[in-house]
Structure formats: C-alpha cells, structure tokens
Amino acid sequence: MYGLFKSGSAVASEQRHVVLGTPILEPPAAEQGEVLFGCGCFWGAEKGFWRLPGVVTTAVGYAGGQLDNPTYAAVCGGHTGHAEVVRVVWDRSLVHFSDLLRLFWECHDPTQGNRQGNDRGSQYRSAIYVDDPTDLNLALASRDQYAKLLAAAGWGAITTQIASGERFHAAEPYHQQYLAKPGSRPYCSAQPTGVSLAEFPGASYQLPASVWQQYDWSIPHCILRGDNTPIPLP
C-alpha cells in the first residue's frame, strides 16, 4: 500500500494539505482509492489533481526507483531511477478512477519518453503506479484507447510505464503543494496533446462537462492559470 511510507520520509506524517486541509500521508480509507501519477514536473501535476472534485488529498514524491529514501537532488541527478509522481487519494463514491485517468492522459504528452517539455531525464517519465487490480486493468484499458486516439491524430506511441508494487517516497516539505505557496515560481512542464480521452472498457465517468471546462489544454500552461481552489460541482 502506498500509504505505508518508508522510515525517514522527508515529510512529517501529520502534515496537512495546504489547500484541502487533509493529511497528505495517511493510508486511504476503505472507501477511498490511491494511485501515483507521473506527468513530468510534479509541481504542476499536483495542482491539476488537487483541483479535481472528489480528490481527498495529494502529495508529491518519488516512485519507481531503486534507492531507499531518495532526495530531490539525487532523483534529479538521474542516479536513483525514480520518477517524480503525485500521490492521489480519492473518494470512490464521488469520482470514478476513469475520471482521474482522463485528467492524467489529457494533462501531459505521454509519448515523449524520458522527458516532458523542456524537462529531460527519466525522472520526468510518464507513469501510473497502482496496486488495486481493477484500477490497474482500467489504467491499461485507458492506455489502449488513448493510444488509438493519439495515432489517429498523428501522435507517436505511448511510452507511459504502468505497474504495481511501487513504493511512494514523499518529497521534501517545500515541494508539497508548491504552486499554492506564497513566493512559488509558477512552473509546469506538461505539454498536453489536445486529444481527449473517449469511452473505454470499464470507464464510468462521473464528473460533468462543467468540471472539464475548467481545464483548457489549448492554453499554454493551463494549470498555472487556474485557481488553486478545488473545482466545485454544479
């Protein structure tokens, strides 16, 4: 379970989300789901997900590597094999995993390999790490559908890594909800393709169109232009 963190985590277990006010490192409750998303620089990616209705909490960190207790400097140096990821915990009664997958695929370019925009290195790779078998199958099905849509639009093959059993290592405190903190440097490396994710086997979208209208991927760095507050449901 991703909620069981390695000892020596850089973030205090009682730390609360700057925007949502919820604990960022507690294990998910029975009615909640948990996933790790890699979409390039984790600053912008985290903001995209904490604004989504039904998300309980988010945190940024590292996953998919070999070193215990990695640091930002070590990960950025390319010596640990980790990707920058966002831990997302959501309420399954309010939002379906397919909604989260829609935001994941649409908010970045999953065809770029070990980079996202100007950020280069394996730490910026596209990735989905999830343990729940049903959620894993949904992730794979969404990838297959999105690959077809990208190909039809002239894009290359998806390079996203999808796996289970990867541990989450919380990033240093100053990275948590970075874009919501005073004095932060507005930055997001994501390069959305502009291709929308359609229906796929197992999808059960719950969020209305009004929510998705808050994300305009045709605007460069859309995430940075949006408010920090969660998007309200109508």
Which residues form the catalytic set?
A: 41
Beta partners for residue 85, in sequence order: 61
Query: Rounded distance, CA 7 to CA 174, Å?
Result: 19
Instruction: Look up residue 25 and give its two tokens.
Output: 């490192």
| Nearest alpha-carbon partner for 57 in 35, 30, 82 | 35
Query: Rounded distance, CA 217 to CA 65, Å?
Result: 30
Instruction: Look up residue 58 and give its two tokens.
Output: 């988010």
| Nearest alpha-carbon partner for 104 in 120, 91, 88 | 88
- Strand 55-63, strand 83-91: pairing: antiparallel
Given a contact cutoff of 8 angstroms between Cβ atoms, the answer to whether 98 and 142 are in contact is yes
Instruction: Look up residue 116 and give its two tokens.
Output: 């996202």
Given a contact cutoff of 8 angstroms between Cβ atoms, the answer to whether 78 and 55 are in contact is no
Residue 174: CB atoms within 10 Å: 11
- Strand 115-116, strand 32-39: pairing: unpaired
